[in-house]
């Protein structure tokens, strides 16, 4: 982590300035305080990520300041033979300690490690707090038979548990079908409601700290531990690296994980809910996902239907999103015209509910007439028009529109999508559909 704000509290000015210069060379902002009074004044007016705190100062001990600091990582700095103060500092919340005389290279390594842990704790805290305050999940709206079946399965599976344990659950469905909403519904409708709900974006676990973020390390809890006895949602689980798949399998097999202190194991009490927009069975059989992990995760599963398989639901959802968007942005609620509703019903929604929500949000924000007409909806014009009797004629018209837009854009998919008033995702879907 670079660019952190660090306060060096030490009355030995040459030493403190040398430390500050080294920290500045490493890309951090460093300030120096020679007394507890100066340190308090600095902390009161400036946000600080880390304090390097000497234990012996002219107007008191570092322990006095340590008890006043909240939410800031502290590394205690002690003189040789003063280990008792360092131990006491650790008991009071210091994350590490260093002995004088300091090796500046060692100092740099300790600072980077502490800042990485600080950053990870902040991300973990944000993740848990965000999910804890996300409010009740929006019900999976829809009156179609497919959506009614999905809701019934969610309600049934949410209640399945034995002695506080719950079977692992796999949620399957295309992008935008509501897998995240379904995961939260399973959590809220079951006995774990009110306990932590921690969502892990597996696509985002493509960085060097992914292992630590998931499993924890050196006193820093990971997301598995943060879920406690609530629910852990592995969104797009197929994106996990082979190494993380292997470690997750071990945890699931043992129903235990190594505590962040590294010295003991703790039981895994959280309910595991995984989701994938791919055919995970095919991924496992093709060797692209661990088959043994797949079998562990897919004890129960729910298939979320695509919006095109839910006749009538697009219009029902559109009206819901119109009202929701207007309320969120403090605007008058426009009316959805019959022609616009018909156009929404004819569209096959490759991006599913997520695409529909974005389409409606854009239309409501740009509306000036108080009524949403087909022209306000950024749908493929060939699809938004009245459906002809010949299905092949519609396909030909759509293909022709795509070819023309791509030709005019010189093959640029993004530019062609803008010409047609659709998203890049929709454009890519239609290109594949027509073999373009």
CA separation for the pair 223, 119 (Å, rounded):
14
pLDDT at 196 (0 to 100): 85
Taking only the tens place, the pLDDT of each residue in 135-184 is 444 468 889 999 999 999 999 998 887 666 789 999 999 999 999 999 99
pLDDT of residue 383: 43
How buried is residue 362: exposed, middle or buried, by Cβ count under 10 Å (0-12/13-18/19+)? middle
pTM metric for this prediction? 0.60
DSSP 4-51: -EEEEE-S-HHHHHHHHHHHHHTT-EEEEESSHHHHHHHHHHS--SEE
| pLDDT band at 85; cut points 50, 70, 90 | confident
pLDDT in tens, 307-354: 999 999 999 999 999 999 998 888 889 999 999 999 999 999 999 999
User: CB count, 10 Å around CB of 408?
Assistant: 12
Determine the average pLDDT of the residues in 95-123. 76
CB 99 within 8 A of CB 110: no
DSSP, collapsed to helix, strand or coil, labels residue 272 as strand
Lowest mean pLDDT among 148-162, 201-215, 236-250: 201-215
Domains recognised in the chain with CATH numbers: 5-127 (3.40.50.2300), 139-305 (3.40.50.300), 309-379 (1.10.8.60), 383-436 (1.10.10.60)
Taking the C-alpha atoms of residue 252 and residue 250, their distance in angstroms, rounded to an integer, is 5
Radius of gyration of the chain (CA): 28
Residue 218 near residue 260 (C-beta atoms within 8 A): yes
């Amino acid at each position: 982590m670079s660019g952190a704000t660090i306060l060096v509290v030490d009355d030995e000015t040459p030493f403190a300035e040398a430390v500050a210069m080294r920290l500045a060379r490493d890309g951090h902002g460093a300030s120096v305080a020679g007394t507890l009074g100066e340190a308090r004044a600095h902390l009161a007016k400036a946000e600080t990520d880390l304090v390097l705190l000497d234990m012996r100062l002219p107007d008191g001990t570092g322990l006095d300041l340590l008890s006043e600091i909240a939410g800031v990582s502290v590394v205690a700095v002690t003189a040789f033979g003063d280990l008792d103060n360092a131990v006491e500092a650790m008991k009071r919340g210091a994350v590490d300690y260093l002995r004088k005389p300091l090796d500046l290279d060692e100092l740099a390594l300790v600072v980077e490690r502490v800042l990485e842990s600080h950053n990870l704790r902040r991300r973990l805290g944000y993740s848990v707090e965000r999910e804890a305050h996300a409010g009740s999940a929006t019900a999976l709206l829809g009156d179609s038979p497919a959506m009614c079946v999905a809701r019934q399965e969610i309600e049934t599976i949410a209640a399945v548990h034995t002695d506080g344990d719950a079977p692992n659950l796999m949620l399957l469905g295309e992008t935008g079908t509501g897998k995240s909403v379904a995961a939260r519904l399973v959590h809220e409708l079951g006995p774990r409601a009110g306990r932590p709900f921690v969502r892990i974006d597996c696509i985002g676990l493509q960085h060097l700290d992914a292992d630590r973020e998931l499993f924890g390390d050196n006193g820093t809890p990971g997301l598995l531990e943060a879920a406690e006895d609530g629910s852990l949602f592995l969104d797009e689980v197929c994106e996990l690296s082979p190494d993380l798949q292997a470690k997750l399998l071990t945890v699931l097999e043992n129903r235990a994980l190594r505590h962040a202190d590294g010295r003991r194991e703790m039981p895994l009490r959280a309910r595991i809910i995984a989701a994938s927009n791919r055919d995970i069975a095919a991924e496992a059989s093709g060797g692209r996902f661990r088959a043994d992990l797949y079998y562990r995760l897919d004890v129960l599963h729910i298939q979320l239907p695509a919006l095109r398989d839910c006749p009538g639901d697009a219009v029902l959802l559109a009206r819901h999103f119109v009202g929701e968007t207007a309320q969120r942005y403090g605007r008058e609620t426009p009316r959805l015209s019959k022609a616009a509703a018909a156009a929404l019903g004819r569209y096959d929604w490759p991006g599913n509910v997520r695409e529909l929500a974005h389409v409606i949000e854009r239309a409501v924000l740009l509306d000036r007439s108080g009524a949403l007409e087909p022209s306000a909806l950024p749908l493929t014009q060939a699809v938004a028009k009245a459906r002809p009797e010949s299905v092949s004629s519609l396909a030909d018209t759509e293909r022709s529109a795509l070819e023309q837009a791509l030709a005019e854009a010189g093959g640029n998919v993004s530019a062609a999508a803008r010409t047609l008033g659709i998203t890049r995702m929709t454009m890519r879907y239609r290109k594949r559909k027509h073999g373009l």
